[in-house]
Chains A and B, each alone.
Chain A
Amino acid sequence: MESAQHMLRTGRRGTLFEFSMALRDLAMSWDRRGLAWSLAWHDVVSRYRGSILGPFWITISMGLMVLGIGLLYARLFGISVAEFMPYVAMGIVFFGLMSGTINEGCETFVQARNMLSQTALPMFAFVWRTVLRNLINLAHHAVIIVAVIVVFGLWREMVILPALAGLVLTVLNLSWISMLAAIASARFRDIPQFVMSVMQFAIFMTPVFWKPDAFPDRHAFLTLNPFYHMLTTIRAPLLGEQADGLSYIVLAIAAVLGWALTFSVFAVTRRRIVHYL
C-alpha cells in the first residue's frame, strides 16, 4: 500500500487485517528510517539551541551526581571509592537511558499530533524517534563511562560483548515499554504522571546507588525488577564481573512477550490513536 505511489485505506476489520496493517506501518517506518533519525536529531539540536555545551549540560549534572554520590556513599557504606564510583557512574547513566526512554515515550504520539492528523506517516517512526533521541543522549553521557573506565583502569578486565548484548536487550525492552506508554498516554492523560511516579520509585528500588550484596543471589526483590536485569547485564560486564545468565534470559523473554503485547495493542488501537489526540 504505502509505496509513495499507492495508498489504500479501508474500513475493513478483522484481527488478521488489523495485524497486517500494523505490520505495514512497521515496515514503512523502516523504509523511512531517515525520517525518525532526522526528527530525533532535530529534537536534540533544538532542545539545546543557543547553549554552548548543549546536551553535555546533562552530562555535567550527571557527572556531578556521580562524583557526589560516589564519594559520599562509598564512605557511608564503607566501600572503596575505586570500587563504588564506576558502579554508581554506570548505574546513573544507564538508568538515565531507561527512565528517559520510558518517560518521554508518554509524549511520543501526543507531541506528534499535528503530523499524525494530516499525513500518512508511519506511527512507528515516532516511537523510533523517541528511542533514537535517548540513544543520542546516551552517546553524550558515555563520556562519563569512558572517564571512569580510564581513571579506574577498568579496561583491563572489562568485557565488551556481554555488555553490548545487555544494551541491545535493554533497548529492545525499553522500546516496547515506551510505545505502550505512548499509546496509553494518548488515550488516558493520567498515564504520564503515573509513569513518572513509577520511574521515580524504580530508581530507588533498583540497585543504581546501592549494591545488592545484602540480598542473597536471585532474591525475588531483585529478580522481579525488570530494571535490575537491564542494568546488571550492561554494568556487570563493564565492571569485569559476570552478569547472571538468568538476567539475559529474562530480558530476552520479556522482549518477546512485551513486543507481542505491545504490537497487539497497537494493531487493535491503531486506527483510533489519531482520534485520541
Chain B
Amino acid sequence: MKPPEVSITVTDLSLRFPVYGVDAKSLKKNLARVTVGGRLGSSNTGATEVTALSNISFNLRPGDRLGLVGHNGSGKTTLLRALSGAYEPDEGQIEVRGRIAALLDLSLGIDPSATGVDNIRLRGRIAGMSAKEIEGKMDEIAAFSGLGPFLAMPMKTYSAGMQARLAFAVATAVEADVLLMDEWISVGDAEFKKLAHRRLLNLVERAGILVLASHDTQLLRLYCNKVMRMEGGIASEVKDIRRIDELLAAA
C-alpha cells in the first residue's frame, strides 16, 4: 500500500514578508491614520514588505536529496518553512505529495517543566502522530534517547546534552516521505553523534525526498545528490552535487 508518488513541485514561488513595525502594531496609530485621512505606510496594508523569495521553481522526485546553499538571509529557512506549509505563497504554487516532516527546530513544542515522557507525547502529537502511534513508538524513542529513568524527571533537570538527545529522539521518530532540515543536526557526545548520524541516515533513506539547508559543503557532498544556491531570495537551477564548486564560484 505505497502512497502515490512522493514529489515536490514548486512553481514561480514568491513570498513577501510584511514587516509590521513597532509603530504599526499600535492601534492608536492606525486609528489616527484613518482620522487624519492620509496613509503613512508604504504599502496599502500599512506595512513595509520584504521580498524573501522570488520566482522560485523546481521539481523533486523520489530519491532526490537537495542541498540548499547560500549566505545568511538568502532565504533558505524561509523556503523550508514554505515547504512545510507554514507560509502561504504570495504568488506561485507549492505542491508536496507525501508526509512532511520538518526538523527545523528541535525545541519545538518542548516544555521544560514537563517530564521526558510527557514531552515525547506532546511533540509526537504536534508532529501529527496519534496517541496510539506515540505509545507504540514510546519504547523505541526511550531506548534511543538512552535516558532511562531520567525520562520520568522534568526536562529542566536535564543537562543541555540530555535535552538535545530527547528532542532529537522524538523529532526523528516520525515516519516521513519528505524530510526538511535546517542544518544537519549534530548533538550530544561523540558516541551519541554516531548513533544520531546512523538514525538520520536511516530516516533519509526511508524518506523519499530530503531538502537540507547547510553552509557545510563537505556535509552536502556527503548526503545530497543535488544542490541549489539561494541568493537574496533568488534560486539558481537545481544542479548535480558534483557541480557545487562551480555553483559557489559563480557568486
Complexed CA–CA distance, A276 and B17 (Å)? 10
Shortest CB distance B82–A (Å):
7
A119 and B85 contact, CB distance less than 8 A: yes
Contacts of A34 in B (CB 8 A): 125, 130-131
Query: Does B102 count as interface, using CB distance less than 8 angstroms?
Result: yes
**Chain A residues with CB below 8 A from B4, complex form:** 5
- A236 CB–B CB distance under 8 Å: no
List A contacts of B130 (CB < 8 A). Answer: 34
B121 smallest CB distance to A (angstroms): 7
For residue A218, CB closer than 8 A to chain B, the reply is no
CB-CB under 8 A from A5, the residues of chain B are 3-4, 97-99
- B residues in contact with A45, CB < 8 Å: 114, 118
Q: Contact between A118 and B84 (Cβ–Cβ < 8 Å)?
A: yes
What residue in chain A is nearest B49 (Cβ atoms)? A275
Q: Which of A109-123 contact B (CB under 8 A)?
A: 114-121
Question: Would B86 and A118 count as touching, CB distance under 8 A?
Answer: yes
Contact digits for B104-139, partner A, Cβ 8 Å, 1 yes 0 no? 110011010110001001100110101100000000
Categorize the interface residue count of chain B.
35 or more
B125 engages A188 (CB within 8 Å): no
Q: Is the CB of B97 within 8 A of A42?
A: no
Q: Does A8 contact B (CB under 8 A)?
A: yes
A271: chain B residues within 8 A (beta carbon): 88
Contact across chains for A46 and B114 when beta carbons are under 8 A apart: yes
Question: Which of these binds chain A: B20-28, B158-166, B224-232, B233-241?
Answer: B20-28
Encode B76-101 as 1/0 by CB contact (under 8 A) with A.
00000110111111111111111110
Contacts of A42 in B (CB 8 A): 111, 114, 118, 122
Min CB gap A115→B, angstroms: 6
- Report if A75 contacts B (CB, 8 A): no
Question: Is A61's beta carbon under 8 Å from chain B?
Answer: no
Chain A CB within 8 A of B18 CB: yes
Q: Which residue of B lies closest to A7 (CB)?
A: B96
Q: Confirm or deny: B30 has a beta carbon within 8 angstroms of a beta carbon on chain A.
A: yes
A270-B114 Cα distance, complex, nearest whole Å: 32
B3 contact set on A, CB distance < 8 A: 5
A211 at the interface (CB under 8 A from B): no
| Interface residue B172 (Cβ < 8 Å from any Cβ of A) | no
* CB proximity of A125 to chain B, nearest CB, Å: 10
Identify the B interface with A (CB < 8 A).
Answer: 3-4, 13-14, 17-18, 20, 25-28, 30, 45, 81-82, 84-100, 102, 104-105, 108-109, 111, 113-114, 118, 121-122, 125-126, 128, 130-131, 154
29 residue pairs A–B, Cβ–Cβ below 8 Å: A4-B100, A5-B4, A5-B97, A7-B85, A7-B97, A8-B95, A8-B96, A9-B82, A9-B93, A10-B89, A10-B94, A32-B128, A34-B125, A38-B125, A45-B118, A46-B111, A50-B113, A114-B109, A115-B108, A116-B86, A117-B87, A118-B84, A118-B102, A119-B85, A119-B86, A119-B102, A189-B26, A194-B27, A271-B88
